[in-house]
Structure 1
Amino acid sequence: MTTARASGVQLHITSLPGGRLGPAARDFVDWLAAAGQSVWQVLPLSVPDEHHSPYKSPSAFAASPALLEDPHAPVAEEELDAFAAQESYWVGSWTDFGGDLADQVRFAREWAALRAYAAERGVRLMGDVPIYVAPDGADERAWPEFFREDAVAGCPPDAYAATGQLWGNPLYRWDALERDGYRWWIERLRRTFALFDLVRLDHFRGFAAYWAIPAGSETALGGRWEPGPGRALFDAATTALGPLPVVAEDLGDIDAPVIELRRALGYPGMAVLQFGFNPDDHDNTHDPDHLETDQVVYTGTHDNDTVCGWWETLPEDRRSLARRAWKDAGITTDGDSEPSWAMIELALQAPCGLAMVQAQDVLGLGSSARMNAPGIEGGWAWQMAAGALTPEHAERMRGLTAAAGRC
C-alpha cells in the first residue's frame, strides 16, 4: 500500500465546518499539509440512510448530493451524456430509483478539484467501501439476482455489542456473483478507485465468512457463519483493475482464515489502540507490543468513542497498562492530563506503515464528539467548529510526526 512511513487524520466531509465540500475542505487540506500529514481519510461518500449513516446507502455507486458545495451549479447536456457513458454500468439503477444524474456530475467536478488540490500539497485521499448496501435500494432493485431474501447481515457479539449487531442489510448471493464474473463488485471498485488513492474495505472478514441472520430476527444472536467468496473476488478485480490499494478492516471476531486471506492478498490490516490494553488478553493484536508493519494503526475509528471519552471510563487496571505502554515507548506527553495526545504520539511511534488519528482526538474532545456508537441508531452528526484546528495544533502534530519519521 505504501513504501514509506506515513500518517494522517480521519475526518468525514459532514464533520467539516458546514458539512460540505468547498473552502472548508481545502482549508483542512492546508492544515494537514502544515501538520506534516499525508493522508486524509473520509467515511463513505454514499447517500446516507434516514439515520445519517453512510454505511447503509441506497446505492453502492452514487455520491451524496448533500456533500455538494454548490448543489445548483448548471450542468450542460454534454456533461450528462459524457458522465452517463463513463458510468454506464450503474447510472440507470440510480436514475430509475429517483436519483438525479446532474448531482453526480456536480460531485465529480467538485471532488476532482479537491483531489487535485490535495495532491498538489502531498495529501492522498483515503476512502471507505461498505461491504453491504441498504435493503430495497437501487442495487437490490436493479440486480435482485445478486441478493438473498432469506437472511440479512450483522455480526455476532463483540467488543462493540454484547448481543451482536443486527444491521439488516441484504446479503449477497455469492454464487450468482461468481457466475457473472464478479462484475458488480469490479464495477463498484472501479468507481471507488476513480475517486480515491487508497481505500479501507469495511468488514473484510465477511469475504472469508459472514454472519447470516435469519430474516425477521429481532437480534443477531440466531445467526451463523457462512462462507464468503475468499480470494476469487479479489483475483477477478485485480485482473480487471490492476493492484488494489486496499486496507482490510479486520476488526471484530477474526479467525485464522481471515488472517490468511488478508496476508495472501498482501493487504495491510488494522489495529486500534483503544483495544490494546486488556490484562486478560495476552495475544491481543491491538497491543502496542504486538503491532506489525503491515497494519494501519488508529487511535480510534469512527465506531469508537473519542480517546478522552474512552479514558474517562477506562478501568484503572487498563489505565495502568496504557501508562506502561507510554513509558516504554518514551512518550513525552503527560497521558493523564492529555490522554488523546499521548495516544496520538503512541500511534505515530508504532512500527505500522500508516498511523491514523481522529480529528476529535487532535482537538482533545470528549464523548459528545463521538461519531457513531455501533448497534445504536443515530449519531453521525458531529461537526467541527470553524477554526477549531489551529496552527498550534498543526505545529504540535508536525513535531511528533517528524520525530516518528513519518513526515
Structure 2
Amino acid sequence: MHRLIRSALSLAAIAALTACSHGNSPQDAGPTVCSTLAECGGNQVCLNSACVNICHATSECQTSATPTNVCEEGVCLAPACGNDAQCGSGQVCLNGKCAQKPVASQVASCDVTPNPGTVRAGSTLQMTALAKDSDGAPLHFSGTAWATSSGSIAADGTLTAPNTSGDITVTATAGTKTCTSTIHVYGAAIGLRVTAINMHTKEPIKGAKVMVCDHTGVCAAAVATADDGTFSTTSFDAASHDVHVFAPGYNYTSFVQTTATDLLVPLQPFIATNSRSGFTSHLCVSKSDDPACPSPQGEFAPLQDQGEAVHMAFFGSAVPNSLLDLSVSTLVGPMHTVHLSLPGTTTAKDLDLPYGLVLGIATNFFGTNDPHVFADGGIRSLWGIGGNINLSKVVGVLTPLLDPNATIDV
C-alpha cells in the first residue's frame, strides 16, 4: 500500500503559483509564506500558502527569477503546457509546466514495461522505458537506446518478435544505466490454442481450467493449462465454439460463439477491496476547521470569488492495460455509500459514489475527504482534478438528484 502524504492538487490552477513583481525586487528570492491575506502586502493575495502579486499585464509578472510567468485572472502564474512542443528549446513539459530537459547524468536507474510481457511470433509489442533520478522520481528523458536478444526493435521501442517461440530479452539504455525485460514469444497455433495470463503481471497462469463447447452447447471436460499458460486441442467445432477459462483467485472469462483459434486470455486477479493497493490522501479547507489538515490553508482554501463554498475533486490512477480492457471498475474504482444533504434544507439521500470522488460544502465533506484510489500492481500514475464551485449553481443540480424517488447511475 502506497500512501500519498499530500495531494499535489492546486485549485486555483494546475500550474504552480509563483510570485511576480515590477523589475528586480525581494520577491525574486521566492514568495512569502502566508496563512491569511493580512500577512501579505497591499498588492498581494494569499493563495496556496504563498503571497502572490496582483497583476494587470504579463509584463508585471516577468522578473529575472520568473522570466516566463504570465498574468491570468489577476495573479501571476507559471505558464502551463500540455506537451513538449509548447515549451522552448531545451525544455520539456513536466507536470503542466515547462522545465529544463533532463540530461543523461541525471539518470540513476530505469525500468522497462511490460516486464514480463507476451507476444505472438512475428507480431509487434510496444516497449516503454522509465528513467528515474537518484530519489527514484521519474525523469522525462528522451535519449533511451533499445536492443533485443532476438527479433528487432525500433528507436521508439516497438519490438518485432522473431518467428520462433521462446523467451527473449529486451534491453533499454538510458544514459549509463541499463534495464531489461523478459518477453515470451508464442509460436504459431496448431488447432485451437488458449493462453491464460495474469492481466496485471502478464505472467502465464499454470493450471487454469479451459472448457471448450461446440455450437450446440456440448462441452468437453475441462483441461488445465501447461507451465507456459497454454492449452491446445485439435478437437473443436470450427464453425463456432465457446471457450470458458477460470482459475482459483481469478475472475473467469468466456468467449461465446467465437471462430478464433488462438486466444490470449488475460485473467483479472480477484482481490478483496480491503486488501487492494492504491493511494490515499486527506483534503481539507484549513487547519482551523480540520486539525488533520497538513497546512494552515488546505487544498480547498476559499478562492477570491464569493459564494464558492462547494468543493469537488476527482482522483484516479493509470489503467495498466489496453483501453479495450477499460471498464467502470477500472475507471472509477469501487463504490461506497455517502449520505448527502443540502444545508438549510431537509433534502438528503444515500448515494453510491466512487472512492476517488471528493465532495464538500463549506467544511462538511460528508466523509469523502479521505479519497482512496485503487491501483493495480506495477508502475502507476496518480491524477487528480478539482476546484471550488458556486453553491447556488450546485443546489439547482443536486436538489432533483437527492429526490428520494430519483435513481442515479454512476
TM-score clears 0.5 = no
- Pick the TM interval, shorter chain: under 0.3
TM-score (norm 2): 0.23
Task: Select the structure with the greater relative contact order (CA < 8 A; seq sep ≥ 6).
Answer: 1
Q: Could you state the TM-score of these two structures normalised by the residue count of structure 1? A: 0.23
